[in-house]
Amino acid sequence: MSELIQTLLESEEKSDLRSFISELRHQEKKYFLRNDIINVYSEYCSKYQKSEEFCSSSHLAQLIYYTQEIIQEDSNLCFIIRPKIASQEVYRLTEDLKVEQMTVQELLDMRDRIVNRFHPNEGDLLELDFGPFYDYSPTIRDPKNIGKGVNFLNRYLSSKLLQDSQQWLENLFNFLRLHQYNGVQLLISDRIKSQQQLSQQVKKALAFVSSRPSNEPYEEFRFNLQAMGFEPGWGNTAQRTQETLNILDELIDSPDPQTLEAFISRIPMIFKIVLVSPHGWFGQEGVLGRPDTGGQVVYVLDQAKSLETQLQEDARLAGLEGLNVQPKVIILTRLIPNSDGTLCNQRLEKVHGTENAWILRVPLRDFNPNMTQNWISRFEFWPYLETYAIDAEKELRAEFHGRPDLIVGNYSDGNLVAFLLARRMKVTQCNIAHALEKSKYLFSNLYWNDLEDKYHFSLQFTADLIAMNAANFVISSTYQEIVGTPDSVGQYESYKCFTMPDLYHVVNGIELFSPKFNVVPPGVNENYYFPYTRTQDRVESDRQRIKEMLFTLDDPSQIFGKLDDPNKRPLFSMARLDRIKNLTGLAECFGKSPELQEHCNLILVAGKLRVEESSDNEEKEEIVKLYHIIDQYNLHGKIRWLGVRLSKTDSGEIYRVIADQQGIFVQPALFEAFGLTILESMISGVPTFATQFGGPLEIIQDKVNGFYINPTNLEETADKIIEFVTKCEHNPDYWQTISQKSIERVYSTYTWKIHTTKLLTLARIYGFWNFSSQEKREDLLRYIEALFYLIYKPRAQHLLEQHQYR
Could you read off the pLDDT of 604-659 as tens digits, one per residue? 999 889 999 888 888 999 999 999 999 999 999 999 999 988 888 899 999 999 99
Query: Under a CB-based contact definition with an 8 Å cutoff, are residues 433 and 520 in contact?
Result: no
Pairing of strands 89-93, 99-101: antiparallel
Residue 530 domain-assigned? no
pLDDT in tens, 449-494: 999 999 999 999 999 999 999 999 999 988 989 998 887 899 999 9
Residue 624 domain-assigned? yes
Number of C-beta neighbours around residue 225 at 10 A: 22
Confidence of residue 773 (pLDDT cuts 50, 70, 90): confident
Query: Under a CB-based contact definition with an 8 Å cutoff, are residues 518 and 408 in contact?
Result: no
Residue 148 β-bridge partners: 518
What pLDDT sits at residue 694? Answer: 81
Q: Which residues contact 261 (CB under 8 A, 6 or more apart)?
A: 150, 154, 761, 765
Is the per-residue pLDDT at 18 higher than 70?
yes
What pLDDT sits at residue 774? Answer: 67
Mean pLDDT of the chain: 93
Confidence of residue 123 (pLDDT cuts 50, 70, 90): low
pLDDT in tens, 173-213: 999 999 999 999 999 999 999 989 999 999 999 999 999 99
Is the per-residue pLDDT at 381 higher than 90?
yes
Statement to judge: residues 346 and 438 lie in one domain: yes
Confidence of residue 525 (pLDDT cuts 50, 70, 90): confident
Give residue 227's identity as a one-letter amino acid code. A
Statement to judge: residues 168 and 314 lie in one domain: no
Q: Among 264, 284, 313, identify where a domain stops.
A: 264
Statement to judge: residues 239 and 333 lie in one domain: no
What pLDDT sits at residue 29? Answer: 85
Higher pLDDT, 24 or 273: 273
Residue 327 domain-assigned? yes
What pLDDT sits at residue 212? Answer: 95
What pLDDT sits at residue 121? Answer: 59
Statement to judge: residues 432 and 370 lie in one domain: yes
Q: Among 750, 775, 791, identify where a domain stops.
A: 750
Polymer length of the chain: 806
Measured at the alpha carbon of residue 113, what is the angle toward residues 111 and 114, in degrees to the nearest 5?
A: 65
Distance separating alpha carbons of residues 61 and 101, to the nearest angstrom: 20
Statement to judge: residues 218 and 323 lie in one domain: no
Residue 118 domain-assigned? no
Please report the DSSP string for 561-610 in residue order. ---S-TTSEEEEEE--SSTTT-HHHHHHHHHT-HHHHHHEEEEEE-S-SS
Residue 183 domain-assigned? no
Query: Under a CB-based contact definition with an 8 Å cutoff, are residues 575 and 606 in contact?
Result: yes
- Strand extents, DSSP E, 614-680: 639-642, 664-667
Statement to judge: residues 243 and 338 lie in one domain: no
Residue 799 domain-assigned? yes
Confidence of residue 323 (pLDDT cuts 50, 70, 90): very high
Distance separating alpha carbons of residues 48 and 45, to the nearest angstrom: 5
Q: Among 728, 750, 772, identify where a domain stops.
A: 750
What pLDDT sits at residue 673? Answer: 76
The DSSP 8-state label assigned to residue 145 in this structure reads G
User: 474-501 burial, b for 16+ CB within 10 Å, e for fewer?
Assistant: bbbbbbbbbbbeeebbbbbbbbbbbbbb
Statement to judge: residues 760 and 677 lie in one domain: no
Statement to judge: residues 633 and 767 lie in one domain: no
Q: How many distinct helices (H) and strands (E) make up the chain?
A: 31, 25
Residue 240 domain-assigned? yes
Statement to judge: residues 385 and 460 lie in one domain: yes
Statement to judge: residues 493 and 547 lie in one domain: no
Give residue 663's identity as a one-letter amino acid code. G
Q: What radius of gyration, in Å, describes the C-alpha atoms of the chain?
A: 28
Statement to judge: residues 633 and 570 lie in one domain: yes
Give me the mean pLDDT over the 418-434 stretch.
Answer: 95
Is the per-residue pLDDT at 74 higher than 90?
no
Q: Residue 52 belongs to a domain with what CATH number?
A: 3.10.450.330
Q: Residue 312 belongs to a domain with what CATH number?
A: 3.40.50.2000
What pLDDT sits at residue 122? Answer: 57
Give me the mean pLDDT over the 225-242 stretch.
Answer: 97
What pLDDT sits at residue 418? Answer: 98
Higher pLDDT, 292 or 793: 793
Number of C-beta neighbours around residue 268 at 10 A: 23
Split into its structural domains, the chain has a count of 4
Confidence of residue 290 (pLDDT cuts 50, 70, 90): confident
Is the per-residue pLDDT at 565 higher than 70?
yes
Is the per-residue pLDDT at 118 higher than 60?
no
Mark residue 138 as left, alpha or beta (left: phi above 0; alpha: psi -120 to 50; beta: remaining). beta
Confidence of residue 358 (pLDDT cuts 50, 70, 90): very high
Confidence of residue 777 (pLDDT cuts 50, 70, 90): confident
For CA atoms 342, 345, 351, 353, give the dihedral sign.
Answer: negative
Statement to judge: residues 706 and 643 lie in one domain: yes
What pLDDT sits at residue 341? Answer: 93
What pLDDT sits at residue 589? Answer: 97
Residue 147 domain-assigned? no
Determine the structural domain holding residue 195 and report its residue range. Answer: 159-177+188-230+234-264
pTM: predicted TM-score of the whole model, two decimal places: 0.85
What pLDDT sits at residue 697? Answer: 87
Query: Under a CB-based contact definition with an 8 Å cutoff, are residues 433 and 673 in contact?
Result: yes
Least confident of 376-390, 526-540, 724-738, 768-782: 768-782
What pLDDT sits at residue 672? Answer: 85
Q: Which residues contact 92 (CB under 8 A, 6 or more apart)?
A: 76, 77, 78, 79, 99, 100, 101, 102, 106
What pLDDT sits at residue 119? Answer: 57
Is the per-residue pLDDT at 439 higher than 90?
no
What pLDDT sits at residue 775? Answer: 65
